[in-house]
Each structure stands twice: as C-alpha cells, then as structure tokens.
Structure 1
C-alpha cells in the first residue's frame, strides 16, 4: 500500500510540475515539449485510476494529434518570432490561468469525492446486456448499443467541420492542395522522428482501432494516431497532402458516416428499428462500421490539421 501511494504521489507531483513548466516555458518550442510531457504523465495518471479508455484517448488525442497541431504551429511561426513574443501572455495572466485551472481541478475533485459509493447510474444494466452485441469491451458495447445515434451525428459533424475549413479557401484554389509545402528535413530531431515513428504508429493505431471491440481502444483513438503519424511526416516534408478534389480523399472522409447510416437502415429491415443491430449479424456489422469510421476519423483529423487549400492541384 505504501509503495502504491508513493507512486501515485510521484505521478501527481510530476503532472503538476509539467503543467507549471508548460505555463512558464520561455519559448514556444519549450511549451510544446512541456505540453507533450504533461499529456504523457496524464495518461499514466489515468491508467493508475483504472480508466484505460480515457488514458488511450488522452494519449491519442491529447498527445499525438494535438502535439502535431502545436508542432505545426511552431514550424509555421518560426519566421515571426517578434509577433509570437508580442502575443505571449504576461506573468500575471499566466498566474491567473494557473489559479483558475487549480480552482476548477479542486472543484471537480470535491464533486467526485461527494458522489455516493457506488455512484448512481445505469452501468450495471448496460454491462448485463453487453453480450447482445457480441462485444467484450463494455465501453464499446454502450457506445454502439445505446449511443449509436450520437456517434452517427458526431461522424457527420466531423465531415461538416472539414467542409467548413475547406470553405475558407478562395475560389481560385478550391479543389487544390491544403496546407503549406514544408521543406524536406534531411537531418535533426524532426527528420529522425518522422522516419522512425510512423511505421510503428500505423501498426499501433490500427491495432488500437481493431482491439476496441474487446479491450480499451476504438476508432477515435486509432484514427487520431494514424492522423498524427501522417502529420508528423508532412511537417518533416516527407509527404504532401493530396488535393481535396481527389476522389479517394473524399471517399475516405465519408466512408464512416456512410457505413454507419447503411447499418442503421439495415436495422430497420432486419431488426427492431433504425440503428438496431440484427442479433445474427451484430458483431460483423459493428466491425465493418468501426473500420470505416477509423478511416474517416484519420482522414478528417489530418485534413483539419492541414487546413484549407493553399495551392492549385
């Protein structure tokens, strides 16, 4: 028990230290590094709390995807050091942000501690019926069995977000290539990471998406990792974004919502209603939809990071 408490205390101290360093970092690069370290430590903290699904979401979205976005911002702002320095918050604002974050964290901790044990909810009933979908992961069973419409709408919203970003392009560049063209990095830390991480990240992202039906993981986590690996190679100048007029790009973007909608309509013909999974085909249908959703999430996140078209195709 003592060793467990010491480990938890050390993780908590490191999380607070990384947060303080990120707020007080003297440069943008140092702040990004601090933020990535903070995210990794927070992932470890969620694992210590037994929330593996949340830990994976933090690692995939809070570290991988967001880290690439911040790295992209730093790379694009390298030539405007004076502008960036002028926009940096002062010490007073940093201190106020730290105090506000601490107050919110304390309020959340008190709210959690005030909950009865066990906490009220429908978790027991949902767990008892998770076998109906043929899924071993209770989180996946709840999302597909009880929140199917929510997930469908979320996938459609992601496509609409990409279209909104594309709409910011001038007419003469519509259908062109999104984002800037970065010079190819032949040496340095970025070049090394862009060559070493993507092969491993593609395998990890695919595995996390596939295993989500039986263990912690899922389409969002897996898709975010896949998008982050592409973004890393893009910032290093190894790959270039495809034109938004490309048919494969558009098919990848809408594959998830289309598969989800078709599965929902199949439920009207073979089961109790829209988005009701036919008992005999529930697991195969869910796996097909999850595969399409992973592709769409990866494509959408990558396109959102790339931004509107900036060059002609």
Structure 2
C-alpha cells in the first residue's frame, strides 16, 4: 500500500470514530460506527492480517452494527427518545485525556517490541507437527488453546445470561421475532434469506476447511453462518426455535463440548489439550467444524435477544 493510501485511511478511521462519538443522532452514530468497523477491517487487510480483518468486518461492523440498530428500535418502541443530557465539559476533557493516555501507553508498548522478538519463525517451525500451515489456527487451537477454549464458554455464557433476563412467563418461548414479513419488502427479504442461508452454509464449511492452511477458521465461519441465519429470520424464511429445544441446545454446546472432550482425552497422553502425532489436524478440524456451528447459532440467538411473551411485545 502507498503512503498516501495509508494516511487517507488513517484519517478516515479517526474521522468516523470522532463522528460516531460526537453526533447526537443515535442512528447516525450507529452508521458511523459500522463504517468505522469496515475501515478498520481495511486497515488490518492492508497489514496482511486477513483473519483479523474478516473478524472485524463480520463481528465488529456486521453483527454489532445490526445489534445496535435493533437496540435503538427496541428503545424507541419503549418510549425512549434517545436524547441524552449535555455532557459536562470537564467530563469530556477527562475522557480525552484518558483516551490519549491509553493510546500513548499502547503505542509505546508496540514500539518497544524489537523486530527480533517476532514469534513467526518459532511458530512456523512447529506447524508441520500439526499438519497445518495457517499460523493463526495453530496459535488459537494448539499453542493458545486454553484461551480459545475459555472464549467458547464465555460466548455460551453470554447467551445464557441473555436468556436469563427473560420474563418468567416468557420462558421457554422463542427469542424475540426479527421477522419483517409484514412490511412491504417482506417478500424480497424472504427470497433473499432463502438464497443466502444455503450460500452461508457452504461458505462457512469452506472457511473452516481452508482455515487450516489459509485465512479462515471457526470464528469467521461462525459469523458467516450467523449472518445467514439472521437474514433468513428477518425475511421469515426460518423461525427461531424454542429455548428448550433439545436439538438447539445440543448445537449450542457441541463446539465447547467437543473442544473440552478432546482436551481431556489428551491428559491420557501427558497433558491437557495434547494432540497425538498424526491426528492433530483431524482433531483441530473436528473442533473447528463443531465450533463453527455453535458460534453461528450462539451469535444469531444473541442478536435475537431475550424471549418475549406475546403480551410483552412492543
């Protein structure tokens, strides 16, 4: 990338971030936030961090952006005018100082790392033992597998927390409906959802398989699958299942469960999350596919929100 492109991209990132923070219109702030996430994805792509770029665009801009839009819609339905009181000047100044200090701290930490401390070489030397070539997959599923395992349970716990906020008389009803079939564009949304969901399934399967050697993996595949499920639900092509549906619960715990079982099985060979030689890639791919299904379902249900009884709908 040229220096001019990098400078323009940095200015656009800072500008959209400032606009999202300073505008008083909630919808405009959400739009600027989504643009900000996509620009960050381009920045990661310019640095050849394709995995991070995909996650940023899919989760940071896509899933989070839609969640903010639905939250705004829900708050307005509850009578909130979404107009906040004027922030005192001293509080704004304090926020600017805190952000500036954090930026300086992170910048100094990054600049203090010498080029010779790059871990790419040592990690690349260990990848052949796993039978994979993508260093990101190797780090997430082998060298930093403890952290990744905990992340999967944190995501599942977040869904449990959202469902726990449901009114007592709503449990175990389906999550809040996102169906827009009653609007004028309902037929278009339904047709698009029916077309997109199979494509999302194929793309998710490919991202998991390719993730062993190229950018991709379970989290990226899960976000693509979640996007397909959400669009299909908005168009009315699919319906949200009941929270006590046994198949749904099996899908939600499939990924973390397979990950944990394989990790515990490794104890018999010497340590937790140990992959026996010759079986490492097969186990990693099994974990990735099961995680992709669980992550996709969990993200979609997180976006749908808590269960709401018919007499509680707005």
TM bracket (short chain) = 0.7 to 0.9
For 2:258, the equivalent position in structure 1 comes to 259
For 2:13, the equivalent position in structure 1 comes to 15
Distance 1:190 1:142 in 2: 44
**Aligned CA distance change for structure 1 residues 169 and 152 (closer, same or farther; 3 Å):** same
- Deviations along 1:65-100, one digit per CA (max 9) or x if unpaired, are 211211211222333565311468578766764564
For 1:220, the equivalent position in structure 2 comes to 219
Contact 1:68 1:232 in 2 (8 A): no
**Deviates further, 67-76 or 21-30:** 21-30
For 2:208, the equivalent position in structure 1 comes to 209
Distance 2:225 2:100 in 1: 33
For 1:170, the equivalent position in structure 2 comes to 167
**Which consecutive residues of structure 1, in runs of 5 or more, have no partner in the other structure?**
none
Task: Note the 1:1-12 alignment, pairs <5 A.
Answer: 4-12=2-10
For 2:296, the equivalent position in structure 1 comes to 298
- Deviations along 1:226-274, one digit per CA (max 9) or x if unpaired, are 22332344455554321111111101101011211222243344x4333
Q: State the 1:104 CA deviation.
A: 2.6
Do structure 1's residue 281 and structure 2's residue 290 form an aligned pair? Answer: no
Contact 1:40 1:63 in 2 (8 A): yes
Contact 1:268 1:276 in 2 (8 A): yes
Task: Note the 1:1-313 alignment, pairs <5 A.
Answer: 4-79=2-77, 82-86=80-84, 97=95, 100-118=98-116, 120=117, 122-180=119-177, 182-184=179-181, 186-187=183-184, 195=192, 201-235=200-234, 239-269=238-268, 271-311=269-309
Calculate the TM-score normalised by the size of structure 2: 0.84
Contact 1:183 1:237 in 2 (8 A): yes
Say which SS state the counterpart of residue 308 (structure 2) adopts.
Answer: strand
Q: State the 1:291 CA deviation.
A: 0.2
Contact 1:181 1:240 in 2 (8 A): no
**Aligned CA distance change for structure 1 residues 267 and 227 (closer, same or farther; 3 Å):** same
Q: State the 1:135 CA deviation.
A: 0.9
**Aligned CA distance change for structure 1 residues 92 and 60 (closer, same or farther; 3 Å):** farther
Size of the aligned set, in residue pairs, is: 308
Contact 2:192 2:235 in 1 (8 A): no
**Aligned CA distance change for structure 1 residues 93 and 76 (closer, same or farther; 3 Å):** farther
**Deviates further, 44-53 or 85-94:** 85-94
**Deviates further, 86-95 or 41-50:** 86-95
Q: State the 1:194 CA deviation.
A: 8.8
**Which consecutive residues of structure 2, in runs of 5 or more, have no partner in the other structure?**
none
Distance 2:187 2:88 in 1: 30
Instruction: Give the root-mean-square deviation of aligned CA atoms.
Output: 3.1
Calculate the TM-score normalised by the size of structure 1: 0.85
Contact 1:56 1:221 in 2 (8 A): yes
Contact 2:262 2:273 in 1 (8 A): yes
Contact 2:175 2:307 in 1 (8 A): yes
**Deviates further, 205-214 or 287-296:** 205-214
Contact 2:180 2:186 in 1 (8 A): no
**Deviates further, 100-109 or 24-33:** 100-109
Distance 1:86 1:131 in 2: 56
